[in-house]
A = this chain, B = another copy of it.
Amino acid sequence: MRWIYRSTWGDGTARICYDRRVKQKSIHAYHGRRRVVIDRVRPEIDAGAFPIKRVIGETVHVEADIIADGHDHIRAVLRYRPAGGRWAETPLHNQGNDRWTASFSVKKLGFYEYTVHAWIDHVDTWIHGLRKKHAAAVVDEVDLSIGARLIADTAERVRSAGASHTAEARRLAEIAAGLEVPTDSVDHRVGTVLAPATIALLDAWPDRSLENSYATTLRVQVDRRRAAFSAWYELFPRSAGSGTTHGTFHDVAARLPYIARLGFDIVYMPPIHPIGTTKRKGRNNSVTAAPGDPGSPWAIGSAEGGHTAIHPQLGTLEDFRELVERVRSYEMEIALDIAFQCAPDHPWVAEHPDWFVSRPDGSIQFAENPPKKYEDIYPINFETEDWQALWQELKDVFLYWIEQGVLVFRVDNPHTKAFPFWEWAIAEIRREHPEAIFLAEAFTRPKRMYRLAKAGFTQSYTYFTWRNDPAELREYLTELTTTEVAEFFRPNFWPNTPDILHEDLQTGGRAAFIARFVLAATLSGNYGIYGPAFELLEHTPSRPGGEDYLHSEKYEIRVWDLARTDSLAPLIRQVNAIRRENEALQDNRTLRFHPCDNPSILCYSKRSASGDNVILICVNMDFHATQAGMVEFSPLAVGLPDQPPFVVRDLLDKATYTWRGYWNYVELDPRTRPVHIFVLER
């Protein structure tokens, strides 16, 4: 009778591990002979439910707790592969306290998988004991015979691995036999085993028949480089014409040399679709539009079409495709704004009334935040019984624009659409288009923002705009760059947007614009500005205490004089060039804050992986008075061995300073030099 192992966890002959979302499944033969235990593999987001994020070429540093009973030696490997590809392995090393580590780099777009395997190495255990016994001169013949048996078993494994390993198998069999030749001295026999070549050979052919694996296979979402390092320029195409004439894609094309010269990567346009006429908003967010008022581009859809149509005043689909090509010729790319909401005139409203909430009086429920009403917008009802068709249609909107050559999407208010939809849609789109980038415009509570990032969004808007003093910025950036959040949430910092003109910019003058710009561009690999409002220092709010622009471009065409001599364009150009030339500024994980005895000065550094490039930034957060203080910069804090004196060069004004100790004097005048961007001369 076959003994059946009955236990509280099933029949025990197999141990089946599913991850929480049934995205992977693995079956381990389970029985008591497997003694190694692998726990707490990190990084791991929510028990493996979500992938971590990397860009091509980056490294994944993996840690695991690995233990076994007794004193036998453990060996462990990190296993990784592009999803669906062949597994590769690299050894993990015990860093103390049973924490083992190893790394791999990701080289292909899409997803990678990783997990940890470990086993007890009886050969290694025996060699370790042999060394100690030999040192104490207590090696017995039986000790050597034990080793001979282990090595002979290894030889057998090598032999069965195929003809190409015959020589190794023969060598191991010789060593095994030699161990039991009593006429040879113990010293000689031990020496043969402990020879580096023997050790290497034995290490290469471990007995893994009783290895265990971690319960879960974890995943990495691998994006292209621009997912982590990008500079966005937002503009309203309708203001790109001359005077108050409605701008077109041709006008945007004419603006491209300017944007490219400023050094941006991504040209982001608010929705380009037909704008609803029913309940259209007028200038300054008036609930009634005057004749000729262009309406908000976010009130999407009219008789002329919806999310896959183009607002006729901007041009044709052909014009748009031409623009996409033109942008590409400048090594930039277009970002479109995907806002899943409908003006009352949107074709979906008539075609799919069940995608919206209908009221008992037969009307469709508009957006509201009681007692406020937003009658120009119908939200989509994600609880519709027809959700499959809805999801498919929404996903197809992205695919349509991908067909037109767009790969970057700024998604409007994703936190007002169901989370499961995003997880599904982004995964579906990335399956065919892993180069697609999705920026989540969710200004909401932290857990909702983080959940969207976990669901697959490539980049995320942040609270940066409302982190205004050095302590707040330190705390927020520490959370974003040093905690688990850094594994899945890629911040994109914006000093302004068409919706947000922060009080700092309203009252801080040019110094505030410079400081907030430099902070955004250097604290975060991804950042953006809404222009030309930003470079032209637009700072008048619609009302005192508000954060909306007066004469907001959301509701009217604006005329911008790009040639103004006070434009920040030269500084922006310079900083974007510095970002491109200094690898240190292209990643967030190396960010470190440095103490300054003046609390108005924020001081931080970033370094390249090699340490060859170290950037140190000092920002005066008082926009009205000169602030000076002593800044502590210890290269040790950024992992470098350098000793004083240090030579630092300001990349903005080229001035060079020699710092003779760890504490050094800086002075920042908001009128002449509100920031330093130093490079450490090494």
| A interface residue numbers (CB < 8 A to B) | 3, 5, 7-10, 12, 15-18, 20-23, 30-35, 37, 39-40, 46-49, 65, 67-71, 97-98, 120, 128-130, 132-133, 135-136, 138, 141-142, 145-146, 148-149, 210, 215-216, 359-361, 363, 368-371, 379, 382-385, 387-391, 415-421, 424, 427-428, 431, 445-448, 451
Contacts and interface: CB of A to CB of B under 8 A. Distances in A.
Nearest to A381: B33
A3 to B, nearest CB: 5
Given A9-B22, A22-B16, A447-B67, A34 B210 contact: no
Contact of A33 (B149, B363, B383): B383
A140 B12 CA distance: 64
B8 A360 contact: no
Contact of A37 (B361, B369, B419): B419
Given A7-B428, A20-B17, A418 B32 contact: yes
Nearest to A369: B71
Given A8-B431, A69-B415, A98 B21 contact: no
Closest 9 CB pairs of A and B: A47-B47, A136-B371, A145-B360, A18-B18, A129-B370, A132-B370, A32-B387, A20-B215, A8-B427
Contacts of A17: 18, 20-22
B69 A416 contact: yes
Given A71-B369, A133-B370, A371-B133, A10 B22 contact: yes
29 contacts: A3-B389, A9-B22, A9-B23, A10-B22, A15-B21, A16-B18, A16-B22, A17-B20, A21-B215, A31-B387, A33-B382, A35-B418, A35-B419, A35-B420, A39-B447, A47-B47, A65-B447, A67-B448, A68-B418, A69-B418, A129-B368, A133-B370, A133-B371, A141-B361, A142-B359, A145-B359, A148-B360, A149-B360, A210-B383
Contact of A40 (B46, B69, B417, B427): B46
Nearest to A4: B388
A382 B7 contact: no
Nearest to A131: B370
A614 B370 CA distance: 49
Number of copies: 2
Given A17-B22, A65-B447, A32 B417 contact: no
Contacts of A415: 69-70
Most buried by B among A22, A368, A391: A22
Contacts of A68: 418-419
A182 to B, nearest CB: 13
A138 B128 CA distance: 83
Nearest to A139: B371
Contacts of A149: 360
Contacts of A3: 388-389
A7 B423 CA distance: 10
A19 to B, nearest CB: 8
Given A3-B389, A47-B48, A210-B383, 11 more contacts: A9-B21, A9-B424, A10-B22, A17-B20, A17-B22, A33-B385, A35-B383, A35-B418, A37-B420, A67-B448, A138-B371
